[in-house]
């Protein structure tokens, strides 16, 4: 309830946008634990000065108060004046870290030190900027589900200069990434073979003559090389080969008994394997058929079809941002 209310309030105060300029409306600031301890020390010194009427203690108390006020201004100014823009997001598989590339630019002509950006506190990216500098930075987030993935609100914070205060903001940069199924290794069941001609297989057939071999009991009489026998009296058998297409069809129906996500993971694994071994492959899943081919573009089409299977293209999967 409180989280939902806070989310609506944040959407009104800092609306989602692909590029956001940080000003006083979008920045929050509070003391850190060290800052609260600093305030307590300043108050203790002040009350001691009042109690003992000691001018030196008054001087120390006023100095601490002035230092704290100056830190408020510098901590806020270290974040204010930045413009944050979403550039692009990398593609990843479920369980991998997906990278969102952002651009930070100083607009007001002042330096910014030790700016921290993260969606997850244990994956923090830090950047510093000179006046009017523009810098790109990639922030990572664990992808937990396939499909279109929206990371939610990005936290940008700073403790500069003394760590007494924390200035931060939560930005929804309207970024999204495409997450592929997690590849799971498995044996490939009997696969479907395409119908067009392809490579010659090393097996018996009836289409093309390939040579002679010694006669073996059980060989058909119609395959015996009679002309050669009449000339040399050596009994030999003709060998033939058949043409068939070595391109694989990776088919949804090959993995009967597996769940939907398992089938997608198995197919994803074999798409990657076929591509790695430079073998043509086609993909059949319900409502989608991709003809056999190979190459980065074909692999991307196959993985995209697997990632979006059963997922509406207008829907998104939220991340862990606030």
- Give the pLDDT confidence score for residue 212 in this predicted structure: 60
Q: How many helices (H) and strands (E) does the chain have?
A: 6, 19
- Give the pLDDT confidence score for residue 11 in this predicted structure: 84
Cis peptide before 161 (omega within 30 of 0): yes
Residue 82 makes CB contacts below 8 A (sequence gap 6+) with 21, 22, 104, 105, 106, 107, 112, 115, 129, 156
Residue 220 pLDDT > 80: no
Residue 226 pLDDT > 90: no
- Give the pLDDT confidence score for residue 202 in this predicted structure: 42
Give 211 or 193, the one with higher predicted confidence.
Answer: 211
Tell me if 22 sits within 8 A of 79, measured CB to CB.
Answer: yes
Buried b / exposed e across 110-143, counting CB within 10 Å, b at 16+?
eebeebbbbbbeeeeeebebeeeeeeebbbbbbb
Q: Which of 117, 115, 111, 113 is nearest to 133 (CA)?
A: 111
- Give the pLDDT confidence score for residue 225 in this predicted structure: 64
Residue 315 pLDDT > 70: no
Reported as a single tens digit per residue, the pLDDT across 51-63 is 888 889 899 999 9
Distances in Å between the alpha carbon of 14 and those of 21, 130, 174?
A: 10, 26, 12
Residue 200 pLDDT > 80: no
Give 257 or 231, the one with higher predicted confidence.
Answer: 257
265-270 average pLDDT score: 93
pTM of the shown model: 0.73
Alpha-carbon gap, residue 102 to 87, rounded angstroms = 5
Residue 223 pLDDT > 80: no
- Give the pLDDT confidence score for residue 30 in this predicted structure: 95
Reported as a single tens digit per residue, the pLDDT across 131-145 is 999 999 999 999 988
Least confident window among 20-34, 135-149, 158-172, 198-212: 198-212
124-132 average pLDDT score: 92
* Percent of the chain residues topping a pLDDT of 70: 79
Mean pLDDT of the chain: 84
φ and ψ of 306, to 5 deg? -70, -40
Reported as a single tens digit per residue, the pLDDT across 282-293 is 999 999 899 999
* Percent of the chain residues topping a pLDDT of 90: 55
């Amino acid at each position: 309830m409180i989280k939902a209310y806070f989310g609506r309030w944040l959407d009104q105060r800092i609306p989602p946008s692909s590029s956001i300029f940080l000003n006083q409306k979008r920045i929050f600031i509070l003391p850190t634990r060290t800052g609260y301890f600093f305030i307590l020390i300043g108050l203790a010194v002040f009350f001691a000065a009042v109690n003992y009427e000691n001018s030196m203690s008054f001087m120390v108390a006023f100095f601490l108060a002035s230092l704290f006020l100056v830190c408020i201004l510098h901590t806020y100014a270290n974040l204010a004046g930045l413009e944050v823009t979403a550039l692009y997001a990398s593609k990843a598989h479920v369980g991998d870290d997906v990278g969102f590339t952002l651009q930070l630019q100083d607009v007001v002509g002042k330096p910014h030190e030790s700016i921290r950006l993260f969606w997850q506190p244990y994956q923090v990216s830090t950047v510093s900027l000179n006046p009017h500098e523009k810098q790109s930075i990639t922030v990572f987030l664990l992808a937990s589900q396939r499909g279109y993935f929206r990371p939610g609100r990005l936290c940008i914070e700073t403790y500069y200069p003394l760590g007494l205060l924390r200035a931060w903001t939560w930005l929804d940069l309207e970024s999204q990434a495409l997450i592929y199924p997690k590849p799971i290794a498995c044996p490939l069941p009997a696969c479907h073979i395409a119908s067009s001609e392809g490579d010659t297989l090393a097996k018996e057939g009836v289409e093309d003559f390939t040579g002679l071999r010694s006669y073996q009991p059980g060989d058909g009489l119609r395959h015996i090389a009679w002309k050669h026998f009449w000339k040399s009296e050596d009994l030999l058998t003709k060998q033939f080969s058949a043409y068939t297409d070595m391109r694989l069809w990776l088919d949804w129906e090959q993995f009967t008994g597996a769940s939907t996500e398992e089938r997608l993971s198995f197919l994803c694994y074999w798409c990657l394997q076929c591509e790695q071994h430079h073998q043509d492959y086609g993909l059949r899943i319900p409502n989608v058929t991709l003809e056999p081919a190979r190459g980065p573009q074909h692999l991307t089409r196959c993985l995209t079809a697997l990632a979006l299977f059963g997922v509406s293209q207008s829907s998104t999967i939220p991340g862990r941002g606030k």
